[in-house]
Structure 1
Amino acid sequence: MYFDSIQDFWSMGGYGLYVWLSFGIGFLSLCLLWLDSIFAKRKLMSQILTEQARQVRIKAAKQKQAGSSV
């Protein structure tokens, strides 16, 4: 589509508000999705590290219990 001026480009033939609002909402949605995935990954990694530490403690307790029963 050809525009005679930058003002015509921004107004988009009278539909500029809808066009730019939809672009803005789409961009905002993508940013929120990106941030949500980053925070979800951090939370998951934290849970994994917590579970691994728990497994190490359980294994150490079993070994200690087995050693004291001998």
Structure 2
Amino acid sequence: MSFNSFSEFLAMGGHGLYVWLSYGLGVAVLAANLIVPKLGRNRLLAEQKRRLRREEGVR
């Protein structure tokens, strides 16, 4: 498939909305798969540090 202009490329023969939404959704899912575990790990480490400080203070 060849396009004569950049606007034709973006329109994708009338299917541009679906094509670009699909790409956007794919990128959003990939980003979420990277970000969510990182946030969960940081939350877990902070919780473990608080628990360790609490236990050291009790003894």
Pair in the same fold by TM > 0.5: yes
- When normalised by structure 2's length, the TM-score is 0.71
SS in 2 for 1:12: helix
Q: Per-residue CA shift, 1:11-61, capped at 9, x if unaligned?
A: 11111111001011112222233331221011111122133332x346xx3
Q: 1:4 and 2:4 equivalent?
A: yes
Q: 1:26 and 2:31 equivalent?
A: no
The 2-side partners of 1:23 and 1:48 are apart by: 38
- Please report the RMSD computed on the Cα atoms of aligned residues, expressed in angstroms: 1.9
Gaps of 5+ in 1: 62-70
The 1-side partners of 2:25 and 2:35 are apart by: 15
Q: Percentage identity across aligned positions? A: 31
- When normalised by structure 1's length, the TM-score is 0.63
Answer 1 or 2: higher relative contact order, Cα 8 Å, separation at least 6. 2
Size of the aligned set, in residue pairs, is: 58
Q: Give the residue type in structure 2 aligned to 1:31.
A: A
SS in 1 for 2:13: helix
The 2-side partners of 1:57 and 1:7 are apart by: 65
Partner of 1:38: 38
Gaps of 5+ in 2: none
SS in 2 for 1:9: helix
Superposed structure 1 runs of 4+ greater than 4 Å apart: none
